[in-house]
Amino acid sequence: MIERCDRAGLAAVDQAGLSALPEAMRALDEAALDTMAAVLRRAGLFRPGVSHRADQVLDRLRVADRHRWIVRGWVRALVRHGRLQASADGAVLRDLSPAPATPAPLPELCARLGYPPEVATFFTSAAARLPELLRDEVTLQSVLFGADSTETADGVYRENVINSYLNAALVEVLRGTLPPAPRVLELGAGVGATAVPVLTSLTGPLEYLFTDVSRYFLDTAGELLSADGRVRFGELDINEPASHTVDAGSCDAVIAANVLHNAIDVNAVLTTARSWLRPGGLLLVVESCGELLQAAVSMQLLMSPAPGRPAAGSLDLRAGEDRIFLTRDEWVTALRDNGLSPVLDLPHPDHPLSALGQLLLVATPTTPGATR
């Protein structure tokens, strides 16, 4: 199955430019580091001969409490990449590297990575407004969904090379394993970036439960998919058991694309997802893995907890680490630890597409419906 799904994914993308993806991703990381450093300079931080502690950096920027984890991550990234110097104990920071002579060509880099022009515009707009975004004076939703449009979100989640590959591979998994008239549940279905290719490709009888925590996404998806009588819509928060109205053992497949990193406790969410699967059912997870520096100056602002709410990862292995994404190995371990047996993970770590930091994991219950 792995080879068949990999071939389906590769057939969905232009393979001519794949070898250039790792270098383009490194350049996008460098652009993100430039953005982080520029925000610090604009606040008057790290002038020649002046040092600061990390808490002083956060205070100078007036970062909202819920976003402070993001800027702490910036500081670690700048130190790790040699853009900022730290004392031996890491407490004192100094010598921020000078600004680049030429700004990074974001439109060109995004194009090389298969993103549409709207994504480069979003990255540029987010960078320009980062101080306000960090202070919670502006929401990233207003930048991402300007003029009430989903075009930028479509570019981030659907219209790019890695998501084209992952969606095609995911569809091939379903095509080869689902029984007749299956029941499929999607968690955090968002703009329909996964639902649309699945529903387009699987043309037979099907019950598709499109769920999200956001009423905005459900209303938008309703307009997009209302003509397909196989689709039902409902609110579901992966972190709120009271919102889970799915019967145990009722689903042939559960899809979670770019949503599980929002789990307060990934173990609890995986256990619940497993309980919804019938014997032999499949959990299909699309996730970012590891450090994504461009996300740290854009999309991560959507991942900060609402005021008064616990942070994602605060009850699992990410607790106290100021990070949102699990690594590939951590995902595989988490699946196994919660009664799920991994059967596929793509793209292969040695493939150029892996440089984009996203993967498809497929697992089946080892103990269907069991609890931890």
Query: How much is the average pLDDT of 91-96?
Result: 96
Q: What is the pLDDT of residue 269?
A: 97
Give the CATH superfamily of 160-290+325-365. Answer: Vaccinia Virus protein VP39 (3.40.50.150)
Q: What is the pLDDT of residue 371?
A: 41
- Token pair, residue 252, equals 């042939």
**Residue 372, pLDDT above cutoff 90:** no
Q: What is the pLDDT of residue 152?
A: 58
Name the pLDDT band for 242 (thresholds 50, 70, 90): confident
- CA-CA distances (angstroms) from residue 222 to 211, 219, 314? 11, 5, 33
Strands annotated E in 107-182: none
**Nearest 10 degrees: Cα torsion 234, 138, 324, 29:** 120
Q: What is the pLDDT of residue 146?
A: 66
Q: What is the pLDDT of residue 143?
A: 87
Strands annotated E in the chain: 52-53, 85-86, 92-94, 183-187, 207-212, 231-235, 251-257, 277-288, 340-346, 358-365
Q: What is the pLDDT of residue 148?
A: 52
Model pTM score: 0.92
CA–CA–CA angle 292, 157, 316 (5° rounding)? 50
In percent, the amount of the chain with pLDDT more than 90 equals 84
Name the pLDDT band for 158 (thresholds 50, 70, 90): low
**Residue 271, pLDDT above cutoff 50:** yes
Q: What is the pLDDT of residue 323?
A: 93
**Residue 236, pLDDT above cutoff 60:** yes
Establish whether the linkage from the previous residue to 182 is cis, with ω within 30° of 0.
no
**pLDDT one-digit tens code per residue, 285-342:** 999 998 889 999 999 999 999 988 999 999 999 999 999 999 999 999 999 999 999 9
**Residue 369, pLDDT above cutoff 50:** no
Q: What is the pLDDT of residue 239?
A: 95
Q: How far apart are CA 74 and CA 231, in angstroms?
A: 41
Domain range list for the chain: 18-158, 160-290+325-365
**Residue 139, pLDDT above cutoff 70:** yes
DSSP β-bridge partners for residue 364 = 341
Q: How far apart are CA 368 and CA 348, in angstroms?
A: 28
**pLDDT one-digit tens code per residue, 33-71:** 999 999 999 999 999 999 999 999 999 999 999 999 999
**Under 8 Å between Cβ of 355 and 22:** yes
Q: What is the pLDDT of residue 370?
A: 44
